[in-house]
Amino acid sequence: MKSAIPTLFAAATLLVAFHLFSGRTAAEETNVASIRFADHHFTPQTLTVTAGEPLAVKVINSSNETIEFESFKLNREVAMTPGETITVRLPPLRPGTYDFYDDFHQDVPEGSIIAK
């Protein structure tokens, strides 16, 4: 019976190589920001980030309402149930202001992500 070890070794090598040379490094994942929704508003209401770098925004719905985290400029809309946390991955942003809001509650104050 042919041993499976060489095949497994080759597969493992390929996986490691892919991880090393795929272009994604730990540094690219370090830009993580958090936004919390509670008491009918987002905190922080204004988020300042570095332009030109990929960004991951963790949005936490700490309320007991279903909301929709939405931004037309960022082209993102995600419904969130109470207690849910999502991660919105964004490409490098050009300098500027990107508004976000809760599309299910129009009386919730709008927030902004400022890239500079």
Partner 1 sequence: MTLARSAWTAIVAVAAALIAAQFVPAKRTNPPAQGALAPPPGIEATLRRACYDCHSNETRWPWYSRVAPISWLIVRDVEMARKEINFSEWGSYYPATRRRKLEWMGRALREGKMPPRLYELMHPGARLADADRAALERWVESGLATPSPGKTSE
Q: Does 42 bind partner 1 (CB under 8 A)?
A: no
> What's the gap between Cα 14 and its chain centre?
28
List, in order, residues 6 or more apart from 5 with CB less than 8 Å away.
none
Per rule CB under 8 A, is residue 110 in the interface with partner 1?
Answer: yes
Question: Is 69 an interacting residue with respect to partner 1 (CB under 8 A)?
Answer: no
* Alpha carbons 11 and 14: distance in angstroms, whole number: 5
- 41, 49, 56, 104: which one binds partner 1 (CB under 8 A): 104
Selected from 53, 68, 78, 114, the binder of partner 1 by CB under 8 A is: 68
**Is residue 101 involved in binding partner 1 (CB under 8 A)?**
yes
In the bound state with partner 1, the residue whose beta carbon lies nearer, of 13 and 97, is: 97
By beta-carbon proximity to partner 1, the closer residue of 18 and 72 is 72
* Chain positions contacting partner 1, by CB under 8 A: 68, 70, 72, 75, 77, 79, 101, 103-104, 106, 110
